[in-house]
């Protein structure tokens, strides 16, 4: 962990630091607002033509490690005429002081007011960050409603997975980018640069129109929504002739051309992840029907083993981190994962550098991989995600893993020195019964029995972690009804009793869960339309902040706001959450093209109800989900036949075209 520099940093001309600094001794974790991290960039304001403020709408400790924001921060700052700075959600204690002392939302890099920037980019991984967005907009002194903004206000651009249905925040954002951001931010920057060079013709409206004409930036103000008498959407149509009927996602194909982050941010304050993270591939075709990330990031694009090696070498040398995270939606599926792990383990043999994989597929973890991940003696946590407790429910969700697979995999981990594994499941899945959930207890008991038998030790633990199922847009489950919170909570109570029924086994099993209430609200926000924006605003006005944090989340506040707002539109909370959609219903995001064919998604939904499993198209013939032809892309996987070692010189890395200007 770094300590702050004792050398005072110069204060930028438009910095709020002189007003902010006296407030910091009065708040918790003041260091999170100081900036100056290794990897941070402060550029000359006046030398920049285009200026971005980038936000992950959560606390510093969650937002700083976010890979997407770090990548865009680097990509933009490599442009000589562009600067990018970061801002995060401030805790309520500082928010109160900022309002009292007139301090606006600021960046941590040079403490400049967010309102001074040309563009305010906000990356959403979860919809529960929407209230934090409103806090940041309001603190910045920017009008909450996009319709009220002038040429002096930044253009607010939403990105991240939640941007694939930005309709609930359509009133508050000016634009949304679907898909990969690397090339998108360069294109947006070029459009703003040209518009400013021309003297800002047509003002804000003309700039937004230029963005919309790219057909990959969605500008909600240029689209009208008509509703049927029963509350369903009749249609979403452009309200002017020169914008597209559908907006398409961006797909960055050659990941080797984008080896970011090269200079990862090293936090001053404690954060949720402190490691050098390299994305080894993007996209997933395993076809888990609940998984929005897997569906919307298709096709699979692998980074080459040599580029991964170069990125790790450069990232560790720059940052001093001791852990390397090999990230993707299913890292053990990389076609060269074995050679990659053995090469990295060999390269850093005798050091304190350890390797970790995020949540690992049960059927892709093997003895060789376990040995390489534990070779340097440091065993980071292992998480496996069977998702469903019973064989039947795993067929419904297309998670093709058997109980035998799981036991075999966990025993492999235990016999290679791990003593703790985490198993992740969901509750509230379509067609789920109490019996499906109770089988989680049987599985956990068998894991402990098998681990004790294989190691001859009773020092074996497993943690069962349960999340509530939330139907997401652009997935086969986008039509599904949600289970009510009391149903989920009842099943979790039964499950806890079943785990503890055998005391000898139960005491070796940890049990963590999210109750059903936050999931229901996330369901409202994930599948909501523009009418839900009034609920978000009401919750925010009533004090809603940090809704992704259990200690700040108030189910009652959301229910009361929904009960007050939604009946004026002829709908209610259940209408958005526990109601199953019909095949021909117009969904709020149908005009936003993820590349997936809606008919294919519907058929996969029907297949799930028939408990029919779909194969992974990486290894089988195409099953026509629509992505490759619609996006003019293709699956990119190895093997390349290359080995990681010897590593090529770091300066051999290729830069994207836009970064060499």
Task: Annotate 607-626 with DSSP letters as a single string.
Answer: HHHTT-----TTTS-----S
Query: What are the structural domains of the chain?
Result: 16-226 (3.40.50.280)
Query: What DSSP state is assigned to residue 228?
Result: -
Per-residue three-class SS string for 375-420: CCCCCCCEEEEEECCCHHHHHHHCCCCCHHHHHHHHHHHHHCCCCE
Question: How, if at all, do strands 217-218 and 175-177 pair?
Answer: antiparallel
3-state secondary structure of 580: coil
Condensed to tens digits (0 to 9), the pLDDT of residues 99-151 reads 999 999 999 999 999 999 999 999 998 999 999 999 999 999 999 999 999 99
Tokens for 488, please give them: 């989920």
pTM for the structure as a whole? 0.93
Residue 641's CB: how many other CB atoms inside 10 A?
A: 8
Residue 29: predicted pLDDT: 94
Distances (CA, A) of 26 to 23, 94, 100, 107, 163: 6, 8, 13, 19, 36
Question: How, if at all, do strands 50-56 and 119-123 pair?
Answer: parallel
Query: What is the rounded average pLDDT of the residues 226-255?
Result: 95
Query: What is the rounded average pLDDT of the residues 333-338?
Result: 88
**Interatomic CA distance for residues 107 and 11, integer angstroms:** 13
Condensed to tens digits (0 to 9), the pLDDT of residues 288-315 reads 999 999 999 999 999 999 999 999 999 9
Taking all residues of the chain, what is their mean pLDDT, rounded to a whole number?
91
With 0-12 / 13-18 / 19 or more C-beta atoms within 10 angstroms meaning exposed / middle / buried, residue 46 is exposed
3-state secondary structure of 464: strand
Residue 550: predicted pLDDT: 92
Tokens for 170, please give them: 């359509």
Residue 359: predicted pLDDT: 66
**Interatomic CA distance for residues 194 and 217, integer angstroms:** 17
In this prediction, residue 332 has a pLDDT band, given cuts at 50, 70 and 90, of confident
Condensed to tens digits (0 to 9), the pLDDT of residues 587-611 reads 999 999 999 999 999 999 999 999 9
Residue 268: predicted pLDDT: 87
Q: Residue 224's closest CA among 211, 239, 212, 213?
A: 239
Residue 13: predicted pLDDT: 66
In this prediction, residue 660 has a pLDDT band, given cuts at 50, 70 and 90, of very low
Helix runs in 78-232, H state only: 92-101, 130-139, 182-197, 203-212
Residue 301: predicted pLDDT: 93
Query: What DSSP state is assigned to residue 89?
Result: P
Query: What is the rounded average pLDDT of the residues 646-660?
Result: 35
For 592-631, b/e burial (b = at least 16 CB within 10 A) is bbbbbeeeebebbbebbeeeeebebbbeeeeeebbbbeeb
Non-local CB neighbours of 326 within 8 Å, separated by 6+ positions? 278, 280, 308, 334, 337, 340, 341, 355, 356, 357
Question: How, if at all, do strands 323-327 and 119-123 pair?
Answer: unpaired
**Interatomic CA distance for residues 341 and 501, integer angstroms:** 40
Residue 8 predicted with pLDDT over 60:
no
In this prediction, residue 658 has a pLDDT band, given cuts at 50, 70 and 90, of very low
In this prediction, residue 12 has a pLDDT band, given cuts at 50, 70 and 90, of confident
Q: Which residue has the tokens 């149908």?
A: 590
Tokens for 592, please give them: 């936003």
Q: Which residue has the tokens 């025993």?
A: 411
Q: Residue 149's closest CA among 196, 99, 185, 115?
A: 115
Tokens for 265, please give them: 């941010």
Residue 644 predicted with pLDDT over 90:
no
């Amino acid at each position: 962990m770094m300590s702050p520099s004792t050398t005072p940093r110069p204060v930028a001309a438009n910095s709020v630091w002189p007003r902010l600094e006296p407030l910091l001794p009065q708040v918790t974790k003041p260091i999170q607002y100081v900036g100056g991290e290794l990897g941070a960039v402060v550029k000359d304001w006046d030398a920049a033509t285009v200026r971005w403020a980038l936000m992950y709408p959560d606390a510093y400790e969650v937002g700083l490690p976010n890979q997407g924001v770090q990548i865009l921060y680097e990509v933009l700052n490599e442009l000589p005429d562009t600067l990018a700075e970061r801002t995060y959600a401030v805790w309520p204690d500082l928010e109160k002081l900022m309002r009292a002392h007139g301090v606006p939302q600021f960046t941590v890099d040079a403490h400049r007011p967010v309102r001074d920037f040309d563009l305010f980019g906000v990356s959403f991984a979860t919809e529960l960050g929407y209230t934090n967005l409103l806090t940041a907009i309001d603190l910045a002194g920017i009008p909450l409603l996009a319709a009220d903004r002038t040429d002096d206000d930044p253009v607010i651009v939403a990105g991240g997975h939640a941007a694939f249905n930005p309709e609930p925040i359509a009133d508050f954002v000016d634009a949304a980018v679907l898909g990969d951001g690397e090339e998108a931010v360069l294109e947006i920057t070029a459009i703003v640069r040209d518009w400013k060079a021309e003297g800002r013709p047509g003002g804000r409206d003309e700039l937004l129109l230029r963005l919309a004409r790219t057909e990959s930036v969605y500008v909600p103000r240029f689209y009208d929504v008509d509703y049927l008498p029963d509350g369903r959407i009749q249609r979403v149509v452009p309200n002017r002739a020169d914008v597209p009927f559908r907006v398409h996602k961006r797909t960055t194909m050659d990941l080797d051309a984008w080896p970011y982050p090269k200079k990862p941010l090293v936090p001053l304050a404690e954060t949720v992840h402190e490691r050098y993270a390299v994305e080894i591939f993007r996209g997933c075709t395993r076809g888990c029907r609940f998984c929005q990330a897997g569906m919307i990031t298709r096709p699979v694009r692998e980074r080459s083993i040599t580029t991964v090696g170069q990125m790790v070498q450069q990232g560790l040398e720059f940052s001093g981190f001791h852990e390397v995270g090999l990230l993707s939606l299913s890292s053990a599926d990389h076609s060269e994962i074995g050679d990659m792990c053995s090469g990295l383990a060999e390269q850093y043999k005798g050091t304190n550098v350890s390797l970790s994989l995020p949540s690992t597929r049960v059927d892709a973890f093997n003895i060789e991989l376990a040995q390489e991940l534990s070779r340097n003696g440091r065993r980071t946590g292992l998480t496996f995600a069977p998702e469903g407790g019973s064989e039947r429910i795993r067929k419904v969700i297309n998670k093709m893993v058997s109980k035998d697979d799981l036991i075999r995999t966990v025993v492999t981990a235990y016999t290679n020195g791990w003593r703790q594994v985490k198993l992740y499941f969901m509750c509230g899945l379509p067609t789920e019964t109490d019996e499906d959930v109770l089988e989680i207890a049987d599985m956990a008991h068998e894991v402990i029995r098998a681990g004790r038998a294989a190691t001859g030790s009773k020092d074996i633990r497993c943690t069962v972690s349960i999340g509530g199922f939330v139907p997401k847009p652009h997935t086969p489950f986008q039509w599904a009804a949600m289970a009510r919170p009391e149903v989920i909570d009842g099943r979790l109570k039964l499950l806890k009793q079943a785990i503890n029924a055998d005391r000898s086994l139960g005491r070796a099993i940890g049990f963590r869960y999210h109750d059903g209430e936050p999931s229901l609200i996330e369901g409202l926000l994930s599948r909501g339309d523009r009418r839900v924006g009034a609920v978000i605003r009401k919750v925010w006005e009533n004090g809603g902040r940090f809704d992704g944090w259990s200690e700040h989340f108030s189910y009652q506040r959301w229910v009361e706001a929904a009960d007050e707002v939604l009946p004026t539109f002829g709908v209610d909370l259940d209408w958005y959450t526990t109601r199953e959609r019909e095949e021909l219903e117009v969904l709020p995001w149908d005009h936003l093209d993820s590349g997936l064919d809606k008919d294919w998604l519907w058929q996969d939904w029907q297949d799930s109800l028939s408990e029919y499993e779909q194969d992974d198209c990486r290894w089988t013939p195409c099953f026509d989900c629509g992505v490759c032809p619609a996006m003019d892309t293709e699956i990119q996987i190895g093997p390349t036949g290359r080995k990681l070692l010897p590593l090529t010189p770091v300066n051999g890395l290729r830069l994207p075209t836009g970064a060499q200007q």
